[in-house]
Structure 1
Amino acid sequence: MQWNWQQKDWPNFRYDNAALDALETQFLKQSGVVVGTLKHIESDAKDDLVIDLISTEAIKTSEIEGEFLNRDSVQASIRRNFGLDASGKRPTPAEQGIAEMMTALYQTFDDPLSDAMLFQWHKMLTSGRTDLNDIGCYRTHAEPMQIVSGADYAPNIHYEAPPSAQVGEEMARFIEWFNASQSMPPLTRASIAHLYFECIHPFEDGNGRIGRAIAEKALSQNLGQPTLLALSHAIQSKKKAYYANLEQSNKTLDLTDWITYFAGTILEAQRYSLQLIEFLIAKTKLYDRLQGQLNERQDKVIARMFREGPEGFKGGLSADNYMSITSAPRATTTRDLADLVAKGALIKTGERRYTRYWLKLDTEYQN
């Protein structure tokens, strides 16, 4: 089998511009909607919104790699990185590292890509790791860099990247292309950048997270501001399709199908980001409306419901959920929930043991 980097025209990728025009137009249109929505948010609330969005992306890009992090710890780390007050659980090295990388991505999106930038991202991602030989530099191991599944005695090789000896040259060419390609349409550039980087697979570990960061950097540069895009959330929700499309595209230089797929994923991520922005705006409005009206138990439950995001509790909040969160007895729980409904904080559905509660939000995305 011949991989794309082994073909004589590598890395001269081909694609059908006309097939992508409608997707590029939709992206620019939706970007305008996101920017317009953000303009209606006050400065302090915008800080919270940005941190929520970056935290979501940090958590999800790690989940794609099978690493599950504590959201409160990641968010507290990001708040500290932004110079804001932060408290909560002490982060693990992995939580601190992804928080630092996502903050750097946001704050330096317009800086040219460089080896030094990528090495710094890699050091952040691998903070605390003792199982890697190459940290903060490209891989040097002599054995093939392969993506493999199955048993050791019958491995299924999904991809084999260029040997380590070629990585320096390949990355020099990639970085030169990336920094010279800002005139390309944003979806096309981001899609190619992500696949191109993943095909080189230059690091011993962390290539997926850095590759997705590069795609977001490309989009931010084309728009002239951070995208605040929930890209990893969209990928994580359909992870099998993501890996299948990567595998299908590592054997060809015609990237029309790959760009169409990845552009669609970006548009889905953009729609979710707008949904999350409107959800967070609704959160601010609800808290403003209920200021000083909630007891400690109610405040704890409302905060817990908001942490579930726009989708809310699966199946809605039950009285048992409330009791578990607050340790309140059933009679108190019944009074608290009835009071929250009366104050317009919650909507009640169902009866008896099927009774469920949902946040009452001033947004089209409410449950």
Structure 2
Amino acid sequence: MYIHERENWTNFVWDNDKLSPVLASVRHLQGRLLGRMESLGFDFIERATLESLILEVVDTSRIEGEFINPELVRSSIARKLGIENADFVQTPRNIEGIVDVILDATQNFDKPLTEIRLLGWHHSLFQTGFSGYQQIDVAKYRSGGMKVVSGIFGREKIHFEAPSADRVPHEMEQFLNWLNSEKRLDLVLKSIIAHFWFVTIHPFDDGNGRIARAILDMWLAKSDNSKIRFYSLSNQIFKEHKHYNNIIEKAQKGTSDITLYLEWFLGCFERALMASEQNLEIILDKAHFWDKHKSTNINDRQRLVINYLYDNYGKEVGFLRTSTYAKLTKCSSDTALRDLQDLVAKEMLKAEDSGKKTNYIIISPKNIRIPKIADEKTSVSS
């Protein structure tokens, strides 16, 4: 039996004694980090918010198996937020759409989430009327059944079956009424419950996960009472996406006691906030770096690669070699070498001899330690 088949299934209950310690820790981390952000000054707040929003947009898409170009996301967000010196780059509709949704959720968090607004988000995600090669209902609730499945054709595994289509309008009306009127719950808890409630109704043909996480972002912004973004929960969820899928599936097959679901999600949020402390150091270093070199003339290839090094701090690689530069920028080895030597001459990178090869490393204004991970492990996506 799925949870939505139970009578009064949305009368959720949980064990406060189990949740209180981690909720208190989360609230403490939120306050500490937001206070630190607010002390940095407008320019750094703007840049840190930009970097956090880029992570959110890229990783909420990665959770669904869609890999989008962070540089295109950067250009789109910077342009829409009116950030100075934002380059105009033509971006695909799918990127513009998810950027619009995340920005509306986090920057207009103080407005009610109405059905019209929600349908607008769905239209932003699927402006062509298609999900891949399949035509879907856009800006309207689904008209058919919905199953979450995995596996190859003929041997699929059904993880969840959503409420029938005829139930969706009523279920969504109840959900939105609760979302906009319930005032007693802690807003962090409310955001996590809202995510589960929405994804269990699964009201659309596609995009339910991304919209559920946008709702989560919106109510977390309410809990901060700030448009400043200093963490990305989707980034942490992507790191733990197997656990994320499993805990949702387990809760959807359980009872109205959602303690385990809330406990896992609060823990995930706590880990996201702790990771953001390190991310903030990188963001600040990156901001200082570009401020120091704001008058330095470099080309688009060089800018892309420096952003790549910062964006992949602690993930893939902390240095570049000529061959990696050439792959990332799709240029010849000779051009890559000239670009890298130019960056060394302009004191943006330093060259370190590594036996037969040369490693190029960012000259960090704040002297953060860039990890050195074997170059052959570097993943270069097209």
2-side partners of 1:169 and 1:297: how far apart? Answer: 51
Q: After TM superposition, list the pairs within 5 Å mapping 1:124-135 onto structure 2.
A: 124-130=124-130, 131-135=134-138
Secondary structure of the corresponding residue to residue 356 of structure 2: helix
Q: 1:363 to 1:122 in 2, by over 3 A?
A: farther
Q: 1:76 to 1:315 in 2, by over 3 A?
A: closer
Q: Between 177-186 and 247-256, report the one with greater CA deviation.
A: 177-186
Cα distance, 1:235 vs structure 2: 1.1
Secondary structure of the corresponding residue to residue 358 of structure 1: strand
- Is 2:322–2:337's contact at 8 Å kept on the other side of the alignment? no
Q: TM-score, normalised by structure 2?
A: 0.84
Deviations 1:213-236 (A, max 9, x none): 111111111221236231111111
Q: 1:242 to 1:354 in 2, by over 3 A?
A: farther
Which residue of 2 is the match for residue 102 of structure 1?
102
Secondary structure of the corresponding residue to residue 356 of structure 1: strand
Residue of 246, 251, 254 corresponding to 2:253: 251
Alpha-carbon RMSD across the aligned residues, in angstroms, is 2.9
Which residue of 2 is the match for residue 316 of structure 1?
319
Number of positions where the alignment pairs a residue of Structure 1 with one of Structure 2: 361
Deviations 1:256-303 (A, max 9, x none): 111111111112222333333321211122334456567669954763
Q: 1:245 to 1:363 in 2, by over 3 A?
A: farther
Secondary structure of the corresponding residue to residue 243 of structure 1: helix
Cα distance, 1:310 vs structure 2: 3.0
Deviations 1:190-235 (A, max 9, x none): 2211111111001111100000111111111122123623111111
- Is 2:106–2:217's contact at 8 Å kept on the other side of the alignment? no
- Is 1:58–1:99's contact at 8 Å kept on the other side of the alignment? yes
Q: After TM superposition, list the pairs within 5 Å mapping 1:154-303 onto structure 2.
A: 154-226=155-227, 228=229, 229-252=231-254, 253-290=256-293, 300=303, 303=306
Cα distance, 1:358 vs structure 2: 3.4
Cα distance, 1:48 vs structure 2: 3.0
Q: Between 299-308 and 34-43, report the one with greater CA deviation.
A: 299-308
Secondary structure of the corresponding residue to residue 206 of structure 2: coil
Deviations 1:55-113 (A, max 9, x none): 22111111111112222222222223223454354111101111111111122111122
Q: What amino acid does structure 2 have at the position aligned with 1:87?
A: D
Q: Does 1:351 align with 2:361?
A: no
Q: What amino acid does structure 2 have at the position aligned with 1:318?
A: R
- Is 1:301–1:322's contact at 8 Å kept on the other side of the alignment? no
Deviations 1:130-165 (A, max 9, x none): 334421121122xx2111123443432110111110
Which residue of 2 is the match for residue 140 of structure 1?
143
Q: Does 1:32 align with 2:31?
A: yes
Q: 1:16 to 1:350 in 2, by over 3 A?
A: farther
Q: TM-score, normalised by structure 1?
A: 0.87
Q: What amino acid does structure 2 have at the position aligned with 1:49?
A: A
Q: Between 214-223 and 150-159, report the one with greater CA deviation.
A: 150-159
User: Taking every aligned residue pair, what percent have the same amino acid on both sides?
Assistant: 27
- Is 1:24–1:185's contact at 8 Å kept on the other side of the alignment? no
Secondary structure of the corresponding residue to residue 147 of structure 1: strand
Which residue of 1 is the match for residue 16 of structure 2?
17
2-side partners of 1:349 and 1:260: how far apart? Answer: 46
- Is 2:318–2:361's contact at 8 Å kept on the other side of the alignment? no
- Is 1:283–1:306's contact at 8 Å kept on the other side of the alignment? no
Secondary structure of the corresponding residue to residue 159 of structure 1: strand
Q: 1:238 to 1:350 in 2, by over 3 A?
A: farther
2-side partners of 1:241 and 1:201: how far apart? Answer: 19
Q: What amino acid does structure 2 have at the position aligned with 1:245?
A: I
Q: Between 270-279 and 10-19, report the one with greater CA deviation.
A: 270-279
- Is 1:348–1:357's contact at 8 Å kept on the other side of the alignment? yes
Instruction: List runs of 5+ in structure 1 lacking aligned partners.
Output: none
- Is 1:278–1:363's contact at 8 Å kept on the other side of the alignment? no
2-side partners of 1:286 and 1:163: how far apart? Answer: 54
2-side partners of 1:37 and 1:81: how far apart? Answer: 25
Which residue of 2 is the match for residue 113 of structure 1?
113
- Is 2:129–2:137's contact at 8 Å kept on the other side of the alignment? no
Q: After TM superposition, list the pairs within 5 Å mapping 1:78-93 onto structure 2.
A: 78-84=77-83, 86-93=86-93
Secondary structure of the corresponding residue to residue 136 of structure 1: coil
1-side partners of 2:33 and 2:239: how far apart? Answer: 22
Q: Between 219-228 and 207-216, report the one with greater CA deviation.
A: 219-228
Instruction: List runs of 5+ in structure 2 lacking aligned partners.
Output: 372-382
Cα distance, 1:128 vs structure 2: 1.9
